[in-house]
Amino acid sequence: MADLSIEFCGIKAPNPFWLASAPPTDKAYNVVRAFEAGWGGVVWKTLGEDPPAVNVSSRYSAHYGKNREVIGFNNIELITDRSLETNLREIAAVKKAWPDRAMIVSLMLPCEEAPWAAILPLVEATGADGIELNFGCPHGMPERGMGAAVGQVPEYVEMVTRWCKQHTRLPVIVKLTPNITDVRAPARAALAGGADAVSLINTVNSITHLDLDRMVAYPVVSGASTHGGYCGSAVKPIALNMVAEIARDPVTAGLPISGIGGIGNWRDAAEFIALGAGCVQVCTAAMLHGFRIVDEMKDGLSRWMDSKGYANVDAFSRKAVPNTTDWKYLDMNYQVIAHIDQDKCIGCGKCFVACEDTSHQAIARQVLENGGRRYEVIEAECVGCNLCEITCPVEGCIAMVPQQTGKPYMNWTQDPRNPRAESRPTVDAAPTAAVGMEAGAPPEAPILAPLAAALPA
């Protein structure tokens, strides 16, 4: 059976499933229940200076799908509203009782060295395994010069990280905000400050929906509202991309990553790990379904690893990173064409409507003698966009079939249709993910360099 135990920047845990810093990790009662359920670790809800933060009521809202399925979750809750002394006492007690579980303590303080220097020895004395710097909270705290207000400024990220490394022996994990143009910049800054790892993503600025009778957004606080932090399955694609960006950046390629954002099952976790994460943090799924979901996560991941021959988590960690690259390095000569399996087709016509109205008119509709309908792909018109496959309600009915073009690999930088094509020989295989970004260059360099070159001296 696959071994789920991990070691993340020196921190050992029986499995890669950790609870993120949030309401589920706000007190000893919750954390003990989580450990009893089988979670490998927790990030204790963010501590700050006394007096503690004061929260409002209400605090949560949701973006719903069909049948009131929660697709996205929004909150305007702040960091812990319990005293520092109470939190520290409970952290110490839980860690003593559960020494084999990862105990990370999230911290958020003003951008002044003294408060960090004061709190870090107190956290270290609890026996905690590491600290996580909350540079991502998008609501309430940025107005006080903390949270995302720090995470959006790489210089601040580097400065505070360096302070923490000077005042604690514990591993320092920097939690990054997604509310930024290029997540590689703060990741590089964290590394420059000495960070042992980064975690991402924190929540995304959001307003989920409105009460159109009262003309106010949710959650409603005495007739008013504000933007909050968005999480849940809806943010998973954003999180996966940002994790991959850091994992394939030559500067931060070796930096351990704790993946966060929309993880609700073993498959989500496996995808994050394959794109660079050494462990994963879960919040919304636990809030919606309870702590016992970790049983299915562990069992599913273990069974999948066994089926693939992966003995441990390291065996497939970052395996998808080399296959993730910039658009300009994709093979322009690769071609797929849709094929409809007539034995599986139910004749709903969704593929036809989508392609006819909004794509390439590459599906033909035929009315049969019995009044039924048959749909066929017009191969000469199909560009392989995948829209028909996506809209089809029957899994496996439409497949995207690779075509033999007889043409070698050619990317956009080599394509003669590109007016700025580079004059270099065609290669036989696509470059790895690291291509296209010089080590040590600022993240924006590949984009801005051509523009700078075009400017008059």
DSSP bridge pairs for 375: 365
353 backbone dihedrals φ, ψ, rounded to 5°: -60, -45
Active site residue 348: no
Contact (Cβ atoms closer than 8 angstroms) between residue 86 and residue 47: no
Asked if residue 51 has a cis previous peptide bond (ω within 30° of 0), the answer is yes
Burial of 157 by CB count in 10 Å (0-12 exposed, 13-18 middle, 19+ buried)?
Answer: buried
β 102-107/130-134 pair status: parallel
Q: DSSP secondary structure string, 359-380?
A: S---EEEEE-TTS-EEEEE-TT
Nearest to 16 by CA among 263, 309, 307: 263
From the candidates 9, 137, 345, 355, which is the catalytic residue?
137
Report d(CA 268, CA 105) in Å as an integer.
24
Report d(CA 442, CA 181) in Å as an integer.
13
Q: DSSP secondary structure string, 219-263?
A: SPBTTB---EEEESGGGHHHHHHHHHHHHHSTTTTTS-EEEESS-
Report d(CA 70, CA 65) in Å as an integer.
6
Residue with tokens 């500067």: 251
Other CB atoms within a 10 A radius of the CB of residue 230 amount to 25
For the annotated catalytic residues, the residue numbers are 137
